[in-house]
Amino acid sequence: MKATIYHNPRCSKSRAALTLLTEAGADVTVIEYLKTPPTRDELAALLKRANLTPREALRTGETEAKPLKDATEAAILDAMVNHPILIERPIVATTKGVIIARPPERVQEIL
């Protein structure tokens, strides 16, 4: 099975999800989203497939998230594209769906 992980190697949850994917035998494409962020359209499509709003995929603990408290979904999506650190991680996509792998064991849902 092919899988794509939007990965931050400094994040323990992201590393654990990647390990679970490789141990399951998935053919994994790793995208370090802080270095190669998704476009607005790509991120919107991922969130739609995950059945998540931008607000639900927002890392609210980040400094850049504070001004977004009352922002529209479109403004949050724009902020996530401009500041990819705001994207909750890791996002994993397969043909069976897209999830935020928190906890990492959630990857089993789409394998």
pLDDT of residue 90: 97
pLDDT digits (tens, 9 = 90+) for 21-34: 999 999 999 999 99
Structure tokens at 102: 């928190």
Give the per-residue pLDDT at 88.
96
According to the model, what pLDDT value does residue 109 have?
Answer: 95
Segments of the chain scoring below 50 in pLDDT: none
User: One of 1, 5, 8, 11 is an active-site residue; which one?
Assistant: 11
Does 54 qualify as catalytic in the annotation? no
**CATH tag, 2-53+87-110:** 3.40.30.10
pLDDT value of residue 54: 98
Contact 64, 79 (CB under 8 A): yes
The domain spans of the chain are 2-53+87-110
